[in-house]
Structure 1
Amino acid sequence: MSYHESDATGAEESVCRYGASKMWFRGPKRLLVKPYVACVGGNETFGRFVESPYPAILEQRLEKQCVNFGSLFSGADALARDPEIPNLMGGAEVCVLQLPPVLNQTNRFYRVHPRRNDRVLEATADLVALYPELDFADVHFVRHLTSRLAEIADARFEVVAAELRQAWGRALRKVLGSANNRVLLLWLDWDRSTMADPSYRGLTDPVQITQEMIDELSDVCAATLRLVVRPSGASDDLEDMLFGTLQQPMAEYMIGPATHREIAQNVMSAICDLE
């Protein structure tokens, strides 16, 4: 199945589903032939506006089927709740799991959409009680919500941050616990110097993944690969991406083809080290 967009907004991108999953993954749909490598993740794994995301490049270099289970706007919540993810990961010889953002998950302070985990469905009674002076009626995205909370800059935000870190860890443990194979955690960390540019503040999450959070998952994964990446708008990658005129602002926030090639090379080396 595909979704289609006009020339003004961009080229067609193919999406598909596997088994009982409710998530839309990067297409075209593949026949899963064992042994295969499962590449699970969000926007970067999906590779929006990129003809050959890193799973496709990895397949060429490993000479082994590498299936792209990247799903746009997904997070820890979608991965932990989806009924098919355990089967897709469990059937693979090796899994590459792109670490999801800390913000994109349901927790005791807000609920997110079950598949588009970047969208807030509602603030809970706990959040309203914690921030009685705020009106959450016009807040629809998790980064907008948490940024508003962080701007107040008092001890209350650390309560929210601690809840998000704990919920993230629980969700990832559930996902990793269902994968009866070797899992390589892929930590794509935005370049700090780029994030200092006001043009890219929209990529900066008030609560970010830390090494301590990764260390707490070390007993349920085979290895972790941390790569520092830059959005295409801050590099020479933008001109090699596929997007329509109205999509350029979104494309500038995505990683480009050169970065996908770099990720594939590093992931290949990390997988070879597991053998």
Structure 2
Amino acid sequence: MAFEYPGDGALDYFPCRYGKSKLLFRGPRRRLDVPFVSAIGGSETYGKFVETSWPELVEQKIGMQVVNFGYLNAGIDVFLHEPQMTEILQKSHVSVIQLMGAQNMSNRFYAVHPRRNDRFLRASNLMRAVFNDVDFTEFNFTRHMLTALQRRAPDRFDSLAQELQMAWVSRMNKLLDRIPGRKVLLSLHDYGDPAQNDPLGPEPLMVTKDMLDQVRARADVVVEIEPSMQARRSGTEGMHFAAMEEPAALTMPGPQVHDEIAEALAPVLAKMI
């Protein structure tokens, strides 16, 4: 895997752990005995394929250490089921929580890997009853599975989407309740090339304004970011990846998007610290 064994053109992310957590975060490892801001989220916060992620850019702007707790391919489940995170975040001055998509969570229809939340493990009896004409052994990833189901059975897909959205609201509220101290919600809207339309909708996947409204009261501030067209059209410009990773890099926010996230967050955090 590129983040563990960088090849030609790939970055070394210096993966590290904190406390007794089993989760590998982006390094180098930072000190937690000095004032710091926590950045919690998925691959977009981790900064996959990007040399300088938005947490590092924010740190440069506010003058306080920002610890990157972004986790590759994470959904809410990764952080909700990691008991060490609450203890680690007790010392955080402010926590910035990226809103992650609703697709990468275990739910009444299917189960995902406990740490690699984008990995589809198995369909439930309910899923097999609703989609009784689908062979689920052909799927390894949640996005691939959901895209296929939406195309094959759009009428039945709605019940699955509603389950994911209800589960997201419930779990996001639980996660925010467990994160101590002051909190900023980061809602990063679609950052991909506008010419490439995702049939499942914009990022964060399946998260609507109404869903955000149902969780915003548990945070001090909500920062919504609409990346510029210039940033969205920049493709892989300025990104670092091995030769075989270009398709994956095209699905990740590039340096310009990270710059725009930092520009939006820095003044908010500066007032809070």
Normalising by structure 1, we get a TM-score of 0.89
Moved more, 138-147 or 103-112: 138-147
SS of 2:15's partner is strand
Q: Partner residue of 2:32?
A: 32
Q: Partner residue of 2:6?
A: 5
Moved more, 258-267 or 230-239: 230-239
Pairwise CA distance, 1:271: 2.0
Q: Partner residue of 1:242?
A: 240
Q: Partner residue of 2:224?
A: 226
| Residues paired across the two proteins, number | 271
* Amino acid in structure 2 at the alignment position of 1:77: D
SS of 2:14's partner is strand
Alignment CA distance shift 1:206-1:78 (3 Å): closer
* Amino acid in structure 1 at the alignment position of 2:241: F
* Amino acid in structure 1 at the alignment position of 2:256: A
Pairwise CA distance, 1:183: 0.8
SS of 1:240's partner is coil
SS of 1:115's partner is coil
Question: Which residues of 2 match residues 121-132 of structure 1 at below 5 A?
Answer: 121-132=121-132
CA distance in 2, matches of 1:208, 1:172: 14
CA distance in 2, matches of 1:103, 1:273: 34
Q: Unaligned stretches of 5+ in structure 1? A: none
CA distance in 2, matches of 1:136, 1:205: 25
CA contact (8 A) 1:183 1:221 kept: yes
Alignment CA distance shift 1:230-1:167 (3 Å): farther
CA contact (8 A) 1:17 1:24 kept: yes
SS of 1:16's partner is coil
CA distance in 2, matches of 1:65, 1:83: 23
Alignment CA distance shift 1:60-1:138 (3 Å): same
CA distance in 2, matches of 1:68, 1:136: 35
Moved more, 180-189 or 202-211: 202-211
Alignment CA distance shift 1:231-1:240 (3 Å): farther
Q: Partner residue of 1:187?
A: 187
Residue 64 (str. 1) matches residue 64 (str. 2): yes
CA contact (8 A) 1:94 1:181 kept: yes
CA distance in 2, matches of 1:238, 1:109: 35
Q: Partner residue of 1:19?
A: 19
Alignment CA distance shift 1:197-1:154 (3 Å): closer
Question: Which residues of 2 match residues 174-213 of structure 1 at below 5 A?
Answer: 174-191=174-191, 194-197=193-196, 208-213=206-211
CA distance in 1, matches of 2:153, 2:34: 51
Alignment CA distance shift 1:16-1:10 (3 Å): same
* Amino acid in structure 1 at the alignment position of 2:179: A
Moved more, 36-45 or 228-237: 228-237
CA distance in 1, matches of 2:21, 2:219: 23
Alignment CA distance shift 1:141-1:254 (3 Å): same
* Amino acid in structure 1 at the alignment position of 2:244: L
* Amino acid in structure 1 at the alignment position of 2:15: V
CA contact (8 A) 2:62 2:270 kept: no
Alignment CA distance shift 1:131-1:153 (3 Å): closer
1:19-47 deviations in whole A, cap 9, x for unaligned?
12221111111111342100001111100
Q: Partner residue of 1:117?
A: 117
Question: Which residues of 2 match residues 100-179 of structure 1 at below 5 A?
Answer: 100-179=100-179
1:38-73 deviations in whole A, cap 9, x for unaligned?
000111110012111011111111111110001101
CA RMSD of aligned residues (A): 2.5
Moved more, 242-251 or 105-114: 242-251
Alignment CA distance shift 1:159-1:216 (3 Å): same
* Amino acid in structure 2 at the alignment position of 1:226: E
1:216-246 deviations in whole A, cap 9, x for unaligned?
1122111111112379995336332222222
CA distance in 2, matches of 1:231, 1:68: 26
Alignment CA distance shift 1:112-1:65 (3 Å): same
Residue 85 (str. 1) matches residue 85 (str. 2): yes
CA contact (8 A) 2:120 2:140 kept: yes
1:160-195 deviations in whole A, cap 9, x for unaligned?
111111111122112111122111111111058x44
CA distance in 2, matches of 1:112, 1:88: 25
CA contact (8 A) 2:161 2:206 kept: no
